[in-house]
Amino acid sequence: MSDAPNATATPKKQENFFVNLLCNLALPIMVLKYASGEDRLGPVVGLIAALAFPVGYFFYDFAQRKNYNIISIFGFLNILLTGGIGLMEAEPKWVVIKETAMPLMIGVLVLATAKRKNSLLKTFLFNDQIFDVEKIQSHIDTDQKQAELDSQFKVANWLLVFSFLVSAALNFILASMIVESPGGTESFNQEIATLTWVSWLVITAPTMAILIYALWRLVKGLKKLTGLDFEGLLHEHHTAKAK
């Protein structure tokens, strides 16, 4: 009887990738590019309208899934800061500072939480939405295995930090090259739109490559430590979908 809750437990509702992409990327870019001119919404209203989509999505997604993480929070803060820079008609250097500081701050938090039970590494990579954490932990039954697992986590943690450093460096370069106009102008909105899609294309590839390598290396280490195959490491709702 005690196993019944686990057997009937359902995984958390997954985020809709396409709705995320539409609200956080496509619609804001379209509004900034084509609806924020003086003959349409205007720079200020256009900026507010564009940012309303990702802000609205943040609250909608939270209401639907009752889930949030450091990335979603920093993403939400990033949107608010972009709006603030635009509305205060601030110099473009503040966009460069913001774009660089955000991934750097997350990288610092990854380091700061490295030795905690609820570290950001475990939030991003080693979590119960991907892995059957309880089963894996049950196979780490000696001090030597635990030490080896901690070593695996340490390497993965540094790879995660490196991905945010790469993101910060690329953000700095792109923002410095693209954003040249002060906030509150049509040119500023156009440049933010360009920065948004260029950043997504340029930064996603290298950072995802690092994260995929970190995950691959972690899986390889877990298989060796636990004796489980790849499916055995995964949370049961992933294997159920495969069947």
State pLDDT tens for residues 14-48: 666 677 777 877 878 888 888 777 777 888 888 88
pTM higher than 0.85 = no
Judged against a pLDDT cut of 70, whether residue 3 lies above it is answered with no
Domain ranges of the chain: 4-242
Model confidence at 2, pLDDT cuts 50, 70, 90, reads very low
Looking at per-residue confidence, does 35 or 191 come out higher?
A: 191
Looking at per-residue confidence, does 36 or 200 come out higher?
A: 200
Nearest to 123 by CA among 72, 66, 195, 83: 72
pLDDT at 12: 58
Model confidence at 233, pLDDT cuts 50, 70, 90, reads confident
Beta bridge pairs of residue 234: 131
Separation between Cα atoms, residue 216 and residue 201, nearest integer Å:
23
Judged against a pLDDT cut of 70, whether residue 218 lies above it is answered with yes
Judged against a pLDDT cut of 60, whether residue 108 lies above it is answered with yes
pLDDT at 15: 62
pLDDT tens, residue by residue, 52-84: 888 888 888 777 766 666 677 777 788 888 888
Nearest to 237 by CA among 139, 137, 129, 133: 129
Please, what is the Cα angle at 175 between 173 and 179, to 5 degrees? Answer: 135
